[in-house]
Amino acid sequence: MPRLPGGRGMSLIAAEHLCVRFGGEEVLHDISLRVDPGEIVTIIGPNGSGKSTLLRALLGILPPAEGRVARAPGLRIGYVPQRLHIDRSMPMTALRFLSLPAHQPRNRALAALARCGVAEAAHRQMTDLSGGQLQRVLLARALLTDPALLILDEPTQGLDQPGEAAFYRLIEEVRRDTGAAVLMVSHDLHVVMSASDRVICLNGHICCEGTPRVVSNAPEYRALFGLGTQGALALYQHAHDHDHTHDHAHAHGPDLWHDRAKGHDHA
Ligand code: ADP
Ligand code: MG
């Protein structure tokens, strides 16, 4: 297991100088990162910046062109992919879904659904669930293996901000109760889970990295985040030290988002 600079000991998973190519195109360039036990790490980045590809490389689904990924021996990972293809012609309850592909004792599956706040979904059809319920069912399935690391690809996509905040609070509870580390891709470039220990901004390479800024109770933030988010959301302030001439990420949004870091060209 590599110990990367700044590591606090044995990491759960570590990438060193990872490059991934599709055909001739390099989608990920020289990525080094690690996730330590119990950490919450959020990855952000524009569409197509390689976030899902990075997760798949870390999972070992995609072979890297260069570099390597090391996982702690026996590491159990719970993975929620960005897209789930539900066959609408095939009826399937949430409880049944949790028993695919590996059979689960009914009690265990029901307990996982209850843990994720969707006990009522057990006997409902997957196709009938709301976006928030579906994400919780997916999380419940990912928890069935007692993972030490949860890898979640845009788990709050399609949820409104109170829904997102509620999901983040659930993740925090899961970390507290199980000690699992969380590596999560956020669909938002600026608003992240406030409990994130680290935020990594990706755009083919690691652009910048830091901690989220927990926002105050000021009315402008409340207006931005909506009511009922109970501090689950925070802002991430980018501090790139290089230009992105093709980066549209900052092309919209309120003044609040403007970077003050030197060397920026995100007009
Ligand atoms: P993100 O998750 O950040 O939106 P992805 O990791 O899905 O980005 O994709 C990054 C880039 O890699 C995109 O240009 C995408 O088209 C390309 N890509 C992803 N998967 C494949 C694949 N299996 N074959 C070829 N190109 C791919
Ligand atoms: Mg993606």
Confidence of residue 83 (pLDDT cuts 50, 70, 90): confident
If asked whether residues 135 and 94 sit together in one domain, one would say: yes
Taking residues 218-226, report their average pLDDT.
79
Taking residues 166-194, report their average pLDDT.
95
49 lines ligand 1 (CB under 6 A): yes
pLDDT over threshold 70, residue 242: yes
Question: Which residues is 209 bridged to in the sheet?
Answer: 200
Strands 40-44 and 198-202: parallel
**Rounded Cα gap, residues 252 and 267, in angstroms:** 9
3-state helix, strand, coil in the chain (%, to 5): 25, 25, 50
If asked whether residues 142 and 36 sit together in one domain, one would say: no
Domain boundary among 97, 118, 146: 146
pLDDT over threshold 70, residue 257: no
If asked whether residues 167 and 251 sit together in one domain, one would say: yes
| Residue from 19, 20, 27, 153 whose mutation best tests the ligand 1 pocket (most atoms within 8 A of CB) | 27
If asked whether residues 167 and 243 sit together in one domain, one would say: yes
Question: Ranked by mean pLDDT, which of 6-20, 122-136, 211-225 comes out on top?
Answer: 122-136
pTM of the entire structure? 0.88
Taking residues 111-120, report their average pLDDT.
97
Neighbours of ion ligand 2 (CB under 5 A): 51-52, 82
If asked whether residues 43 and 155 sit together in one domain, one would say: yes
If asked whether residues 55 and 182 sit together in one domain, one would say: yes
| Residue from 19, 20, 22, 189 whose mutation best tests the ligand 1 pocket (most atoms within 8 A of CB) | 22
In ligand 1, the atom with minimum distance to the C-alpha of 153 is 2
CA–centroid distance, residue 119 to ligand 1 (Å): 35
pLDDT for 261: 35
**Rounded Cα gap, residues 69 and 246, in angstroms:** 29
Q: Is 257 helix (H, G, I), strand (E, B) or coil?
A: helix
Q: Which domain holds residue 127?
A: 88-146
CATH for 165: 3.40.50.300
